[in-house]
Structure 1
Amino acid sequence: MQKQYFKEYSPTLGRDMEGMVYGHAGRPMLFIPCQDGRHPDFEGFHMTETLAPWIESGQIQVTSIDTLDKETWSDKGGDPYRRARRHEAWMSYIFNEVAPAMIARAEGINGPDADNHIISFGCSLGATHAVNCYLRRPDLFSGMMALSGIYTGAYGWDSYSDEVVYANSPVDYMANLPHDHRYIEMFNRQRAVICVGQGSWEQPDTTFQLKNIFAQKGIDIWVDAWGYDVNHDWPWWHKQATYFMPWLLGR
């Protein structure tokens, strides 16, 4: 499997950011690690092995990046106003630095006529981030696989809320999305899946909230609940990724 490490200064964040690219060709996929995670987690938790059939065959090229969760969602003792804006800066880093670089790389490899828009992918809080990327910017992200996320800003900010927390709380901003919003047509042309188990450590309530919101808005996103034996842990995320990948790629 071809691998390429990168370390680049982010003007948006004012610091160096690291990551790894896996694969030589195919649809770009952005992997966002679990809470407080860093880019080596994609390989360290063996997701490279799970997705190897699609990576090595040139169907996907995965970019794994670092989170800033320790400064944002996880820093419960920090100033919530500052934490929210630091998180939003990280989202801007994804939208304005990571995503354009991924798309440009894919166009150079696959050609400009291929589908070079990004699939967002994450588990746990990584799924929360993946959903926010997809729902906020379907012009950049044309697919999504989110496993075991929690889709409310209250998970990171408790009772505090402002416009930035709201912008990262899918159950809130999607509930207020106009029924004629242009993004709905975009969602319905693409393939995206949100999955949650109902076993130990899973918190499926906000997944079910999103499923109801999507139904009310006429949004075709597959929301799938697995059984009461399905726990919030990597062995199940490997099984789910294997199950959903062929459908996600339309194969």
Structure 2
Amino acid sequence: MVKEHISWYSERLQRDMSIRIYGDKGTPVLVFPTQDAMSDNFENFGMIDTLSGYLNEGRIQLFCVDTVDTETWSNVWGDKGWRASRQEAYYNYIVAEVLPFIADRNGTGRLPIVIGCSLGGLHAAILFLRRPELFAGILSLSGVYDAKFFFDGWLNETLYENSPMDFLAQMPPDHPYIRQYNEKPIILCVGQGAWEDEGRRTTAIMGDIFRAKGIHGWTDFWGYDVNHDWCWWQKQILYFLPYMLGETRIGG
């Protein structure tokens, strides 16, 4: 398997940011790490080994990014307005810097699937739901979709744009994005075991919003033994990935 580590200085974030690439061809997959983690997160927790069959067969190519979560979502004592602005800068970094890099390096002309676990699932949802034309689909595992949860209930205009539960609820039912959503696979999965309470709450709300807006998103709730942990995310990604790649028709 081809593996590469690349970094560059981002003017938008005023710091070096890295990307780890796994595989040399196939459908591009943008991967967001778990909270506060960096581009080595998937490798460190065994997900690259889990996906080795797909990677070795050239079916997918992973692009795993860094985060600035310690400055934004986890910076509980920081100024809330600055934290929200910093998250917006990170969103712009992904759109303006990372996605063109993926397109150039992957070379297939395919739009990337976006995937994330835990807080990575929130990042994935923000990107896909704000810019569906840039992605082929989303798989979010154990995400929390209410930005206010990380900001003690606080919300301003900038954070609103990074809170899927809020901005999607206000989207007009005739918005052109809804047609684009319905052309692509949308999967939000959560367990019902330990440490999944907020994920369960917000995934259920997202399911209600999907139904109200006519969005064909799949919200899937796994069992009460399914905890917020890597062993389950590894099982879930193998279960859902064939659907994301258009190889099966499982799901709702």
Matched residue of 2:234: which SS?
A: helix
Separation in structure 1 between the aligned mates of residue 60 and residue 134 of structure 2, nearest angstrom: 16
| Contact 1:32–1:122 (CA under 8 A) maintained in structure 2 | yes
Matched residue of 2:136: which SS?
A: strand
Q: Which amino acid aligns with 2:177?
A: Y
Residue 204 of structure 2 is aligned to residue 208 of structure 1: yes
Deviations 1:62-87 (A, max 9, x none): 01111100000000000000011011
Deviations 1:134-185 (A, max 9, x none): 1011111111110001100112211221001111111110101111111111
| Contact 1:157–1:165 (CA under 8 A) maintained in structure 2 | no
Shift of 1:59: 1.3
State the match for 1:128 in structure 2: 122
Separation in structure 1 between the aligned mates of residue 103 and residue 137 of structure 2, nearest angstrom: 13
Stretches of structure 2 that go unaligned for 5 or more consecutive residues are 248-252
State the match for 1:140 in structure 2: 134
Separation in structure 2 between the aligned mates of residue 14 and residue 191 of structure 1, nearest angstrom: 34
State the match for 1:91 in structure 2: 91
**Percent identical across equivalent pairs?**
46
150-159 or 170-179, larger mean C-alpha shift = 150-159
Q: Which amino acid aligns with 2:19?
A: G
117-126 or 49-58, larger mean C-alpha shift = 49-58
State the match for 1:76 in structure 2: 76
Shift of 1:29: 0.5
Deviations 1:95-136 (A, max 9, x none): 1000111112222xx3x4xxx111111110011111111101
Q: Which amino acid aligns with 1:202?
A: E
Structure-2-length-normalised TM-score: 0.95
State the match for 1:45 in structure 2: 45
State the match for 1:183 in structure 2: 177
Matched residue of 2:88: which SS?
A: helix
State the match for 1:219 in structure 2: 215
Separation in structure 2 between the aligned mates of residue 42 and residue 22 of structure 1, nearest angstrom: 10
How many residues are aligned here?
245
Matched residue of 2:55: which SS?
A: helix
Residue 211 of structure 2 is aligned to residue 229 of structure 1: no
| Contact 1:22–1:63 (CA under 8 A) maintained in structure 2 | yes
Residue 59 of structure 2 is aligned to residue 59 of structure 1: yes
Matched residue of 1:5: which SS?
A: strand
Separation in structure 2 between the aligned mates of residue 159 and residue 236 of structure 1, nearest angstrom: 29
State the match for 1:149 in structure 2: 143
Separation in structure 2 between the aligned mates of residue 141 and residue 158 of structure 1, nearest angstrom: 31
Matched residue of 1:30: which SS?
A: strand
Q: Which amino acid aligns with 1:87?
A: Q
Separation in structure 2 between the aligned mates of residue 50 and residue 221 of structure 1, nearest angstrom: 25
State the match for 1:12 in structure 2: 12
Q: Which amino acid aligns with 1:193?
A: I
CA RMSD of aligned residues (A): 0.9
Moved over 6 A (4+): none
State the match for 2:245 in structure 1: 249
Structure-1-length-normalised TM-score: 0.96
State the match for 1:35 in structure 2: 35
State the match for 1:170 in structure 2: 164
Stretches of structure 1 that go unaligned for 5 or more consecutive residues are none
| Contact 1:18–1:66 (CA under 8 A) maintained in structure 2 | yes
| Contact 1:84–1:165 (CA under 8 A) maintained in structure 2 | yes
